[in-house]
Amino acid sequence: MCLTTSGIVLLLTNPQVLGLTLEKRMKKSWRDSNWYSASTAFWKEYRRHKIGIIGLALLLAYVGMAIGAPYLVQYSPSPGAKVAPSFLAPAWMQVFDPGGVVTSDVIKDPNMGLTPDFVVNGTAPNQFSYSYLPSGGGTDFNRVEMTWTHLTNQTLHFRTPIDSTGNLPDCLDFVYFSYSFNWTYAKLPSDVNVTIDFAAETTGDFASREAGGLMFKLYMWLVDSAGNWWRVYQSYPPYASIYQMRVIDLNYFDIIEGWEGIVKHTDPSNELTLAVGLVPSRNMRTNLDYNGSVTVSVRKLSVIAFGDYFGILGTTDKGADAWSQLVYGSRVSLLIGTLATALSSIVGVAVGMTAGYFGGKIDEILMRIVDFLLVIPGLPLMMVLAAFLGPTIINIIIVISLLGWTGTSRLIRSQVMAEKNKAYVESARAIGASDTYIIYRHIFPNVTPILFADVTLGVVGAILSESGLAFLGLTDPSQPSWGRMLADAQGSGGFSNGAWWIVIFPGLMITVLSLSFTFVGHTLDQILNPRLRER
């Protein structure tokens, strides 16, 4: 094909032809680049190893769990954050126990749209008022307000004699609101938590006089279907106009008295009622000269009845959610494993390349330091350093990296000693290249393939070291980790209490994560190590 001068001019002056030619050249140069060709060839070789694919898939699953942890859990991952009774079994085990009760919200949060029932009790209803204030004019619950207005020497009717059980209020005049719910199970709940969020605003003498907070109380009762009342909460001063949350853990006797009559009946329509009331205290009997008002605003009321089963993985010895700790534990293991290995690899590469390239006294001194650290038992030294530096994540990374570089330095040193006498290094010296240039421009790229496999396998050791330190109680107790879960299970008798799930699953997570790095490291070694590739 002959290209004339006019053809060349046409090609250079035609923007479409010129743009198409440049685009083709750019695509060709991008696909023919060294990094693209090398990565493509590497991936084609990696796909041939089934173990490597399995390891990579598992590793990506762990990374996804660590990144998506806030979206995978419902409760706090803190080991001390109690959300249920201790040693509750996972909810999926209820399949083997059809009569078992799975923990659930018996009374949903009033924000879900429940409408309370109001009652003004006694013979002085004109002193009490109430209001239900939905948010935005809709049906969503915002708050309930109960107000007691007392004028000087206004009459109040008190119970005589005083209720000996302590369940009923001293004053017969009060206002309260209530929620009712069904209990359809044949078992008592293992524990019950009631949460109330309220604020109290006082005016007149109730606000100005020192004893004003003693003139009224906020009560909470549990009422069964037969109309029996059991007091489960009684407020005490001081009060505040800002909302205060109270979480009341019902005791064993409250649960028996409140639920026993329900579970003896087979009718699922039997109801329990939770009532909250603003009641004048007995102190008002001799202080009728008070003039003012009390307004109690309640914006949240909920009951959680705990059954025999809870959540995806049950609860720990402290009543914390085991699933939340397991998911967030992946963050700790991956963070410590990768950062500690990265730091130890940097130190190991620097020491190994310096010792291998320069040799002589420098090599002798550095290798004696390595030998000294190798003969010292690693775990006891880590324990001493961790106890001395403190149980923070940064300190644990430093401790593991300080003792994890010795093997890398020996490996790199041996490879550098083999590479430094080769012809390409001699040629670089002959043209006047500096030692630093030769080390990091020529020798380092040739020892990198072996380093990749060593780093991947080193993460396994770092993860196991962190788990061991956590099991011994030398890591931050507020940080969830798999080793900490095993330590808590061992210290509290997890197996003796039948709570096998807080032992099996953390150990399984450590094992599988270690295997995933091992599979990937083994595959990288087979691909990047020339000797293994020849086999």
Q: What is the pLDDT of residues 307-318, one digit of tens each?
A: 888 889 999 988
pLDDT reported for residue 46: 86
AA letter at 155: T
pLDDT category at 323 given cuts 50, 70, 90 is: very high
Question: pLDDT class for 112, splitting at 50, 70, 90?
Answer: low
Per the prediction, the chain carries an average pLDDT of: 83
Helix, strand, or coil (residue 168): coil
3-state secondary structure of 189: coil
Q: Dihedral sign, CA of 517, 523, 528, 532? A: positive
Rounded-to-integer distance, Cα 345 and Cα 163, Å: 74
> How many whole angstroms separate alpha carbon 82 and alpha carbon 76?
9
Task: Tell me the β-bridge partners of 203.
Answer: 293
Domains defined for the chain, CATH in brackets: 59-67+318-534 (1.10.3720.10), 104-306 (2.60.120.200)
d(CA 527, CA 452): 11
> What are the tens digits of pLDDT across the range 19-65?
545 455 545 555 566 667 777 887 888 888 899 999 999 999 999 99
Q: How far apart are CA 224 and CA 316, in angstroms?
A: 32
How many Å apart are CA 505 and CA 494, to the nearest integer? Answer: 13
Task: Report the pLDDT value the prediction gives residue 513, as an integer from 0 to 100.
Answer: 92
What was the pLDDT predicted at 492? 73
Residue 2 is predicted with a pLDDT of: 47
pLDDT at residue 94 above 60?
yes
The mean-pLDDT minimum among 101-110, 408-417, 461-470 falls in: 101-110
Which residue pairs, CB below 8 angstroms and at least 24 apart, start in 202-208? 202/239, 202/292, 202/293, 202/294, 202/295, 203/292, 203/293, 203/294, 204/290, 204/291, 204/292, 204/293, 205/289, 205/290, 205/291, 205/292, 206/150, 206/290, 206/292, 206/293, 206/294, 207/292, 208/292
- Which two three-digit tokens encode residue 371? 């030998």
Bridge partners for 121 per DSSP: 174
Q: Is the pLDDT of residue 66 over 50?
A: yes
Give the CA radius of gyration of the chain.
Answer: 36
If you write DSSP's letter for every residue of 113-155 in order, what string do you get?
A: S--PEEEEESS-GGGEEEEEEEGGGSSSEEEEEEEEEE-TT--
The pLDDT score that the predictor gives to residue 18 is: 45
Q: What pLDDT sits at residue 12? A: 45
As a whole number, mean pLDDT of residues 349-359 equals 90
**Is pLDDT above 70 for 108?**
no
Residue 199 confidence (pLDDT): 94
Cα angle value 340/342/346 (rounded, 5°): 120
- Express each pLDDT in 388-444 by its tens digit: 888 788 888 888 888 888 888 988 898 888 888 888 888 888 888 888 888 888 888
Helix, strand, coil in percent for the chain, rounding step 5: 50, 20, 30
Phi, psi of 532 (to 5 degrees): -70, -35
Mean pLDDT check: name the lowest of 140-154, 468-482, 519-533. Answer: 519-533
H or E element at residue 223:
strand 216-223
More confident residue, 404 or 150: 150
**Span 493-500, average pLDDT:** 79
In this predicted structure, the answer to whether residue 494 has a pLDDT above a threshold of 80 is no
Alpha-carbon gap, residue 345 to 532, rounded angstroms: 23
List, for residues 369-392, the tens digit of each pLDDT value: 988 888 887 778 788 888 888 878
Q: Are 471 and 487 in contact (CB under 8 A)?
A: yes
Question: What is residue 162's DSSP assignment?
Answer: P
Residue 40 has, within 13 A of its CA and on its CB side, a CA count of 8
Question: What stretch of H or E contains 294?
Answer: strand 292-306
**C-alpha neighbours within 13 Å on the C-beta side of residue 316:** 32
Mean pLDDT of 58-81: 92
What's the pLDDT at 280? 95
Which residues have CB under 8 Å from 445's CB, separation 6+? none
**Residue (of 24, 80, 39, 190) closest to 476 by Cα position:** 80
Q: Who has greater pLDDT, 1 or 241?
A: 241
Residues 201-218: what's their mean pLDDT? 94
Q: How far apart, in whole angstroms, are the C-alpha atoms of residue 473 and residue 176?
A: 49
Q: What integer is the mean pLDDT of 463-479? A: 84
Stretch among 133-147, 226-240, 480-494 having the lowest mean pLDDT: 133-147
The SS3 assignment for 231 reads strand
- pLDDT > 90: what percent of the chain? 28
Q: How confident is the model at residue 138 (pLDDT cuts 50, 70, 90)?
A: very low
Largest alpha-carbon pair distance within the chain? 121
pTM for the model stands at: 0.73
Report the range out of 136-145, 349-358, 439-448 with the highest average pLDDT. 349-358
CA 280 vs CA 35, 212, 344: distances in Å: 81, 11, 69
Residue 259 has pLDDT above 60, yes or no: yes
